Amino acid sequence: MESINPVTGEPLDEYETHDTDDIDTALSNAETAFDDWSQQSIAHRGTLLQKTAERLDERVEEYAELMTREMGKPIEQARAEVKKCAWVCEYYAETAAEHLQDEVIESDPDARTLVSYEPLGPILAIMPWNFPFWQAFRFIAPNLAAGNVGLLKHASNVPGCALAIEAVLEDAGLPEGVFQTLLISSSEVDPIIEDDRVAGVTLTGSEGAGRAVGRKAGEQLKPSVLELGGSDPFVVLDDAPIEATAERGAFARLQNTGQSCIAAKRFIVHDAVYDEFVDAFVDEVEALTVGDPMDEATDIGPMARPDLREDLDDQIERTLDAGAELLTGGEAVDGEGAYYQPTVLTEVPSDSAAATEETFGPVASVTRVSDEQEAIEVANDTDFGLGASVWTSDLDRGEAFARRFEAGLCFVNELVKSDPRLPFGGVKNSGYGRELSRHGIREFVNAKTIWVQHGLGEGETGDDSYAGVE
């Protein structure tokens, strides 16, 4: 497995992949590790997560540079990603006991009834390249805190990141087998999901990959969480503060070079402020610096791979052929690296590629609407339902509008983002299940009902009125 620098197209490193025997050994190690790890106290597991956070904080620069070299993320954004991974480890170290404490539920007056949240076993995580540390750690922290053990199949273009994640957990003192990286191809995933030693699977990736993994998990009657693509609407109402909204909109679309499932992709703008917003938005986009992601002044780096740039260019060309107007950008950057000009399209037909497909790169489409009702209709006219935002000077109006979005993550006057304290996930073709917060740590646990009957002494038979009981 080879990592390629997207700035130069030159190889960085080669890594030996795992074969069938290696995979079998890893699964056996995971099964053995789970037997002990699941019996450790939540406090002990939290202590090791806290140590992991400390290691991450100590190595921010090292891991940020690794991410930037492997997939082209601007260096300052890479540093922020490492720090966020430390945060999610700290969060679950502090809150896992509360999230997983027994839930006492009153039922029969002569019984003590409760729900106990208990781990399931080894969980397979299939993770993407765009946030190579964060995507993995938002799986790792809650699941290890809950007592599960992890197996990571990372994207094939970030093997260095995958191994660094395994190493930092090992350095923090996690026992052998509690977390393992598998350097394997996508074709080797199905047999792992089918293996009896694996208890569940989670994937962050494309809609196609999600359907395949969800189907395979369903065949095995194993739980799955799928965080898939998005085509997030960014709705600008007629009372929005235009300058500030345009500035936030440019970052919402172009952070991580636009390669984010929760990036704002479809800008839906009220007619009363449309021209003013478009002018301000294009100015903000054109002011961003495209360049070497290791340079502190760079806002937009290369796309992660040349084929991804080709796919984006094809989507833009098809959208222009359908009748859209190009305001800025629209072409690959000449020279080395998978660079693409930041692009803004307007008059985008509702059935064109930019309106119906996920555009995973630095391109924004802008649509004019006549009123608030049309804005919500256009926002929800998509097969995706991951994130959405609305921008307005009236917070009550904004919250009422946000409640009408068909999406899992709905923001008022803020770009869509993940936060360890809040559930993260989508609806429709953006997947199902939730990561992070209390909701995320409970995805791969057994919500076990325990009933303790009082007053049944020797010689007593208890209530004999069982007729009709299931």
DSSP alpha helices (H): ranges in 147-241? Answer: 159-171, 189-194, 207-219
Cα separation, 109 vs 127, whole angstroms: 47
Catalytic residue, from 227, 284, 357, 443: name it. 227
Cβ partners under 8 Å of residue 337, min gap 6: 6, 7, 8, 9, 72, 302
Phi-psi sector, 459: left (phi>0), alpha (psi -120 to 50), beta: left
For residue 267, the tally of other CB atoms under 10 A from its CB is 29
Cα separation, 394 vs 345, whole angstroms: 28
pLDDT of residue 455: 86
Cβ partners under 8 Å of residue 117, min gap 6: 99, 100, 102, 103, 146, 442, 445, 446, 447, 448
Residue 201: both structure tokens together = 């699977």
Amino acid identity for residue 43 in this structure: A
pTM: 0.96
User: Is-contact 303 340, C-beta < 8 A?
Assistant: yes
Domain borders along the chain are 2-228+426-450, 232-412
Q: Assess whether 261 carries a catalytic annotation.
A: yes
With a cut of 50, list the residues of the chain below it in pLDDT.
459
pLDDT of residue 466: 52
CATH 3.40.605.10 given to domain 2-228+426-450? yes
**Three-state DSSP state, 243:** helix
Cα separation, 94 vs 100, whole angstroms: 12
Cα separation, 280 vs 351, whole angstroms: 26
Could you give the C-alpha distances from 1 to 12, 17, 158, in angstroms and in order? Answer: 11, 6, 9
Catalytic residue, from 85, 161, 261, 410: name it. 261
Cα separation, 180 vs 68, whole angstroms: 23
pLDDT of residue 96: 98
CA angle 130, 133, 139 (to 5 degrees): 105
Per the DSSP assignment, residues forming a β-bridge with 326 are 345
For residue 280, the tally of other CB atoms under 10 A from its CB is 19
pLDDT in tens, 294-346: 999 999 999 999 999 999 999 999 999 999 999 999 999 999 999 999 999 99
DSSP symbol at 425: -
Residue 347's nearest CA partner among 381, 373, 311, 319 is 319
pLDDT of residue 458: 52
Per the DSSP assignment, residues forming a β-bridge with 115 are 103, 449
pLDDT of residue 40: 98
pLDDT of residue 456: 76
> What DSSP string describes 65-130?
HHHHHHH---HHHHHHHHHHHHHHHHHHHHHHHHHHS-EE---STTEEEEEEEEE-SEEEEE--SS
Cα separation, 261 vs 205, whole angstroms: 9
User: Is-contact 112 452, C-beta < 8 A?
Assistant: yes
Q: Assess whether 89 carries a catalytic annotation.
A: no
CATH 3.40.309.10 given to domain 232-412? yes
